[in-house]
């Protein structure tokens, strides 16, 4: 099912294009949580990360460091969060894989920002749960 991002890729809807190649498009987020907030998307219309082909994933991975370097140089930000939501439960709104690149400045420092916060309370990893999860994950991964 086409999303707003497929329409952006197909130029049916305008955006501020930052980078484009055969597999990847980067553009400014229309609702930035910080100056320079941008989105990096595969052209493959996968909904979530686990639906991406290896080629599309590799193309994203290849260009990501370059985009982060450009973002740092262009904005002078002090840090960058890379955020990628999969599924409504994880806060995904547009159902086409996308990575948020969110610059951090002194005024939106991770520890103080009211616009974009990352806060979690670390739990503890028990030996039994670690063993169970490792067994399950390694079995899935082959």
Active-site residue numbers?
Answer: 98
Stretch that binds ligand DGP, among 68-76, 88-96, 120-128, 133-141 (CB under 6 A): 88-96
Q: Which is nearer to ligand DGP, 17 or 136 (CB)?
A: 17
Positions in 90-109 near ligand DGP (CB under 6 A): 91-94
List, in order, residues 6 or more apart from 119 with CB less than 8 Å away. none
Q: Which is nearer to ligand DGP, 8 or 59 (CB)?
A: 8
Positions in 18-37 near ligand DGP (CB under 6 A): 27-31
List, in order, residues 6 or more apart from 18 with CB less than 8 Å away. 26, 27, 28, 38, 67, 70
Phi-psi domain of 91 (left: phi exceeds 0; alpha: psi -120 through 50; beta: other): left
Tell whether residue 85 is a contact of ligand DGP (CB under 6 A): yes
Size of the site for ligand DGP (CB under 6 A): 14
Q: How far apart are CA 24 and CA 59, in angstroms?
A: 7
Q: How many CB atoms lie within 10 A of CB 116?
A: 16
Positions touching ligand DGP (CB under 6 A) are 4, 13, 15, 27-31, 39, 85, 91-94
């Amino acid at each position: 099912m086409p999303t707003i991002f497929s329409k952006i890729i197909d130029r049916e809807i305008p955006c501020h294009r930052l980078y484009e190649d055969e597999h990847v498009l980067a553009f400014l987020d229309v609702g930035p949580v910080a100056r320079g907030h941008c989105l990096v998307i595969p052209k493959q219309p996968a909904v979530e990360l686990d639906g991406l082909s290896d080629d599309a994933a590799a193309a994203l991975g290849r260009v990501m460091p370059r985009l982060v370097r450009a973002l740092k140089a262009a904005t002078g930000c002090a840090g960058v969060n890379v955020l990628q939501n999969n599924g409504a439960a994880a806060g995904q709104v547009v159902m086409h894989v996308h990575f948020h690149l969110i610059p951090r400045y002194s005024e939106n420092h991770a520890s103080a920002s009211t616009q974009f916060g990352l806060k979690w309370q670390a739990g503890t990893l028990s030996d039994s749960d670690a063993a169970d999860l490792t067994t399950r994950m390694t079995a899935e991964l082959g």
